[in-house]
Each structure stands twice: as structure tokens, then as C-alpha cells.
């Protein structure tokens, strides 16, 4: 997974420095430790690794979500991606990278559990620098629902080829929308993204869509 994500380029995104990487690893460790220690009769946190053989690449692709939250009542599983945005400014590019990673994990999870639902629910937990007095860091949480389609599989294959060829994959708003919602359900008109999604999904994703896309609309 790290090799694939290493060739993905989103405008405005940068990889953390050495010190920022240490901060990110520390945040991830504390986040997982705290979540795994929570005791609840309904929600259970866990970690796992999912692998899938992708025919187009003749390779096994593996990925480990930062966290899985299991809802014992509804018998559903939520993916969680924790991302550090080392910036005081616009952290949108880091949300986009988190969404891309969650899309890949969603496909790997669906491939692992054959017959999984069309939509995968997830959360982006983002930590960024804060200018507020007394607060060095601030956090935001965005729910996101991802349609699991072959668009994600194609993206994985293309990213793997880019890694082998030592090239990059540039992800525009249009390409990102097709990754999250599927090519068959997404159209791009000039700079506006048109998304065909159920009303409840469009409502759930409204806040994160405002971050992911410059212009978007759900019929």
C-alpha cells in the first residue's frame, strides 16, 4: 500500500518531514491504543490487514486500515483513516489523500469478504496545526461513504504500474470523484463534478464533498 500511495500526487499535498513523521507515528500509536482499549457493548475496535491478488498486475496488494470499528448491533464495519496535516493553512489535499487510501482499503475489504455491500462507510480523522491560543493541534472528523466498484481496482492497477515504471499518478477532482463514486455514476462538466448517489449517501458525504471537490452537485 505504501508503494502505491507513494506515486499518488494530489495538488497541494506534501509528505511530512522527519520530525513530522515522528509526530504522525506517535499520533497513530496513541490513537490505536486508546481506541482498542475502549470497552463498549455495541462498538468494538480492531486492526487487520487485507490482501488481494490483482490480475492486471500479477501481484498481491495488501493494506492495513488504521482502525476498524465493528457495530455489533447493525453488524457493519467502519474503516478509519487517521491523517496528520502538517499545515496551518488549507488541509484539503490531506483529506483527499485520506479518501484515496480509504477507497483502496474499501475495495480490499470487499474483496476479502465476498458479497459485501455496495457502499462502505468510513471516517477520516484529521489532525492539523492550530493557530488558536493554547492549542497547538486541532482535529476534524469527516464521515464518508464509498461506492466499491471496479474503478478502485483499476486505480490500484494503474498505481502499481506507475510504481514499477517510477512515474506518478495525478489525481484531479474528476478522477477522485470516479474513484469514490464509480465511473458509471460520475460525470465531469468543466470543473463541476456531477455525482449520482442515493439521497442518504449524498447527505452523509456533503461535508466531505465540500472539501474534496471545488464544485460538485448530486442530482
Average pLDDT over residues 128-138: 67
pLDDT band at 133 (very low <50, low <70, confident <90, very high): low
Tell me what pLDDT residue 150 has: 93
Crossing angle of helices 150-164 and 92-112, in 10° steps, is 110
pTM above 0.85, yes or no: yes
- pLDDT confidence of residue 29: 79
Between the two ends of the chain, the Cα-to-Cα distance in Å is 34
Specify the CATH number of the domain 2-171: 3.90.320.10
Provide the grid cell at 201.
Answer: 449517501
Query: What CA–CA distance (Å, rounded) separates 50 from 29?
Result: 20
Q: Which pLDDT score, from 0 to 100, does residue 193 have?
A: 94
The DSSP element (H or E) to which 101 belongs, if any, is helix 92-112
Amino acid at each position: 500500500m505504501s508503494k502505491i500511495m507513494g506515486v499518488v500526487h494530489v495538488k497541494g499535498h506534501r509528505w511530512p518531514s522527519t520530525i513530522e513523521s515522528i509526530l504522525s507515528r506517535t499520533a497513530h500509536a496513541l490513537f490505536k491504543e486508546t481506541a482498542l482499549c475502549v470497552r463498549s457493548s455495541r462498538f468494538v475496535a480492531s486492526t487487520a490487514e487485507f490482501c488481494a491478488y490483482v490480475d492486471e498486475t500479477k501481484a498481491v496488494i495488501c493494506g492495513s486500515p488504521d482502525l476498524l470499528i465493528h457495530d455489533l448491533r447493525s453488524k457493519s464495519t467502519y474503516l478509519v483513516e487517521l491523517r496528520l496535516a502538517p499545515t496551518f493553512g488549507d488541509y484539503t489535499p490531506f483529506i483527499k489523500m485520506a479518501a484515496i487510501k480509504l477507497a483502496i482499503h474499501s475495495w480490499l475489504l470487499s474483496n476479502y469478504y465476498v458479497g459485501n455491500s455496495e457502499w462502505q462507510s468510513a471516517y477520516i480523522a484529521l489532525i492539523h496545526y492550530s493557530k488558536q491560543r493554547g492549542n497547538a493541534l486541532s482535529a476534524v472528523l469527516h464521515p464518508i461513504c464509498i461506492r466499491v466498484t471496479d474503478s478502485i481496482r483499476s486505480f490500484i492497477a494503474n498505481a502499481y504500474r506507475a510504481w514499477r515504471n517510477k512515474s506518478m499518478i495525478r489525481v484531479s477532482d474528476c478522477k477522485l470523484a470516479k474513484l469514490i463514486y464509480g465511473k458509471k455514476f460520475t460525470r465531469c462538466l468543466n470543473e463541476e463534478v456531477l455525482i449520482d448517489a442515493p439521497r442518504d449517501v449524498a447527505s452523509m458525504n456533503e461535508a466531505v464533498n465540500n472539501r474534496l471537490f471545488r464544485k460538485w452537485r448530486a442530482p
